[in-house]
Amino acid sequence: MECRRSSQLKVTATSSLFATANSDAIGLNLRHPRERTFLEFFAGIGLTHLGLRPHGWRCIYANDIEVKKQRMYRACFSEADYYHVEDIWKTNRIVGRIPTEVADLVSASFPCIDLSLAGNLKGLDGEHSGTFYGLLKVLRSLRRDGRLPRAILVENVTGFLSSHKGKFFRIALRELAKLGYFLDAFVLDAKHFVPQSRPRLFIVGVHGALPSAEGVQVVPATASSAFWAPQSDTLLRPERLVEALAGTPLATGWLPLHLPTPPAVKHTLRQLIDTGQSEQWWDERLVRKHLAEMHLRHRAKVEELKGGKSPIIGTIYRRVRDGRSRSEIRLDGIAGCLRTPRGGSSKQIVFVAGNGKVRMRWMTPREYARLQGCPDFPIQVDRNEALLGFGDAVCVPVISWIAKNVLTQLFPSKTQLAELQETAGD
Among residues 346, 363, 380, which one ends one of the domains?
363
Specify whether 60 is located in the same domain as 183.
Answer: yes
Q: Is residue 342 part of a domain?
A: yes
Q: Is the pLDDT of residue 231 over 60?
A: no
Shared-domain flag, residues 59 and 187:
yes
Element (H, E) at 280: none
Mean pLDDT, the chain, whole residue set? 83
Domain count, the chain: 2
pLDDT of residue 232: 56
Residue-range definition of the domain harbouring residue 300: 275-363
On the question of pLDDT at 13 being above 60, the answer is: no
Res 195: pLDDT: 97
Q: Which residue has the higher pLDDT, 299 or 217?
A: 299
List, in order, residues 6 or more apart from 373 with CB less than 8 Å away.
Answer: 1, 18, 22, 47, 51, 190, 193, 194, 395, 396, 397, 398
On whether residue 414 sits in a domain, the answer given is yes
> Residues of the chain with pLDDT > 90: what percent?
60
318 in the same domain as 203: no
Cα separation, 307 vs 286, whole angstroms: 20
pLDDT at 133 over 50: yes
253 & 282 share domain: no
**Residue 255 has what pLDDT?**
85
Alpha-carbon distance 345 to 293, whole Å? 13
Of 178, 52, 62, 42, residue with least CA distance to 111: 42
Percentage of residues of the chain with pLDDT beyond 70: 78
Residues 353 and 330 in one domain: yes
Q: Identify whether 368 is part of a domain.
A: no
- Cα angle: 125, vertex 129, 130; to 5 degrees: 45
Tell whether 175 and 253 lie within a shared domain. Answer: yes
pLDDT tens digit string along 169-209? 999 999 999 999 999 999 999 999 999 999 999 999 998 75
Tell whether 57 and 138 lie within a shared domain.
Answer: yes
Instruction: Give pTM, 2 decimals.
Output: 0.86
Q: Is 380 inside a domain boundary?
A: no
How many helices (H) and strands (E) would you count in the chain? Answer: 16, 11
What DSSP element (H or E) covers 357?
Answer: strand 357-362
Which of 27-36, 90-99, 160-169 bottoms out in mean pLDDT, i.e. has the lowest?
27-36
CA distance 333 to 383: 24
Whether residues 252 and 289 fall in one domain: no
- Tell me, what's the pLDDT at 163? 75
Q: pLDDT tens for residues 290-333?
A: 999 999 999 999 999 999 999 999 999 988 777 788 899 999 99
Q: Is residue 382 part of a domain?
A: no
Instruction: Read off the amino acid at residue 78.
Output: S
| End-to-end CA gap in the chain | 35
pLDDT of residue 85: 97
141 and 172 share a domain?
yes
Q: Are residues 121 and 201 in the same domain?
A: yes
Are 152 and 68 found together in one domain? Answer: yes
pLDDT of residue 166: 81
Phi and psi, residue 83, nearest 5°: -80, 120
Paired residues of 313 in beta bridges: 352
Q: Do 318 and 187 share a structural domain? A: no
**Could you give the residue ranges of the DSSP H alpha helices within 77-209?**
91-97, 131-144, 159-162, 167-178
- Looking up residue 225, the CATH number of its domain turns out to be 3.40.50.150
Residue 378 lies in a domain: no
- Euclidean distance between CA atoms 196 and 149, whole angstroms: 32
Q: Are 40 and 48 in contact (CB under 8 A)?
A: yes
Domain membership flag for residue 297 = yes
Residue 293 lies in a domain: yes
State pLDDT tens for residues 150-177: 999 999 888 888 877 888 899 999 999 9
